[in-house]
């Protein structure tokens, strides 16, 4: 009986320890998400969003929302890479 | 003897518990890519390393600027749909639900793109320019994916508003 109780208590302690380790690991991974936050999702503030009132032509405003062409940015990046690569 | 066997088994469980419950997250992938990059780049010439960092820094700047713009568009698209519903006594239809779905989808795609960190997959120092161009191509295609999601949700919204 004594042996059984001893084994049971050891088992309970080990189970507790493993749970603590698992939790610690989770918290560690949560705190390291800071590296993902180096680039903020958005710097936009709600006040900078276009105001829409009763007189707004919704369809017209929607048509004006078409994103710009990004090709100038890509061309700029490629030219930087080519310029840097001449001495790489 | 029995006690020893059981204790050993418990210790084994304890040691492997973390592996059993471990789950690969996007953060794990980023950290793994980062450590691979750092392990390789430390043998590169300092000026080459600096050039690589200049390019990846520029990618981060463009990504931030463009995803901020796309995020603004998505917030406005959501407001447009809200205003449309307000003008129609908040009666949602199949088309408004569809627009809501695509607006949410595109907004999430933009947020996901904004959170991305671009890390080189270095092959060798003699292939630095190819490695840089390969990262730029990856960034372009992923940013275009987010942009196309925004354009698609705009088209779906147009179908509702007209």
How does pLDDT run along chain B (162 residues), one tens digit per residue?
666 666 666 666 666 655 556 788 888 888 999 999 999 999 999 999 999 999 999 999 999 999 999 999 999 999 999 999 999 999 999 999 999 999 999 999 999 999 999 999 999 999 988 999 999 999 999 999 999 999 999 999 999 999
Long-range contacts of B15-23 (CB under 8 A, 24+ apart): B17/A18, B17/A21, B17/A22, B18/A21, B18/A22, B18/A25, B21/A22, B21/A25, B22/A25
Kindly determine whether residue A70 and residue B75, on different chains, have CB atoms separated by under 8 Å. no
pTM more than 0.95: no
Among A39, A53, A56, the residue to mutate for chain B (most B Cβ within 10 A): A39
Q: What percent of chain A has pLDDT over 70?
A: 64
Query: What is the pLDDT, as a whole number, of residue A51?
Result: 75
Q: How far is B133 from chain A (nearest CA, A)?
A: 7
In order of A36, A57, A72, B110, B122, the CA distances from B27 in angstroms are 7, 43, 31, 18, 19
Query: What is the pLDDT, as a whole number, of residue B18?
Result: 56
Kindly determine whether residue B73 and residue A67, on different chains, have CB atoms separated by under 8 Å. yes
Q: Are B114 and A39 in contact (CB under 8 A)?
A: yes
Does A29 score more than 90 pLDDT? no
Q: Which chain B residues in 136-155 lie under 8 Å from chain A, judged by CB atoms? A: 136, 139-140, 143-144, 147, 150-151, 154
* CA B28 – CA B32 distance, rounded (Å): 6
pLDDT band (50, 70, 90) for residue A25: low
Cβ-based contacts under 8 A for chains A and B: 159
User: Among B27, B116, B125, B6, which residue's Cα sits nearest to residue A85?
Assistant: B125
């Amino acid at each position: 009986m004594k042996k059984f109780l001893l084994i049971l208590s050891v088992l309970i302690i080990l189970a507790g320890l493993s749970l603590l380790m698992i939790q610690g690991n989770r918290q560690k991974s949560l705190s390291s998400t800071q590296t993902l936050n180096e680039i903020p999702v958005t710097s936009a503030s709600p006040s900078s969003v276009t105001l829409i009132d009763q007189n707004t032509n919704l369809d017209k405003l929607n048509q004006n929302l078409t994103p710009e062409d990004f090709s100038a940015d890509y061309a700029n990046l490629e030219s930087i890479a080519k310029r840097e690569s001449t001495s790489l | 003897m029995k006690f020893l066997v059981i204790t050993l088994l418990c210790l084994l469980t304890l040691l492997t518990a973390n592996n059993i419950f471990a789950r690969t997250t996007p953060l794990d992938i980023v950290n793994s890519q980062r450590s691979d990059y750092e392990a390789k780049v430390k043998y590169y010439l300092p000026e080459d390393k600096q050039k690589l960092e200049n390019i990846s820094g520029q990618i981060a700047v463009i990504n931030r600027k463009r995803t901020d713009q796309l995020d603004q568009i998505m917030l406005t698209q959501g407001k447009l749909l809200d205003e449309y519903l307000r003008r129609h006594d908040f009666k949602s239809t199949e088309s408004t639900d569809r627009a809501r779905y695509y607006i949410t989808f595109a907004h999430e795609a933009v947020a996901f793109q904004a959170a991305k960190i671009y890390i080189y997959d270095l092959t060798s120092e003699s292939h630095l320019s190819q490695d840089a161009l390969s990262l730029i191509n990856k960034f372009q295609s992923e940013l275009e994916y987010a942009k196309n999601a925004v354009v698609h949700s705009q088209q779906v919204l147009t179908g509702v508003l007209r």
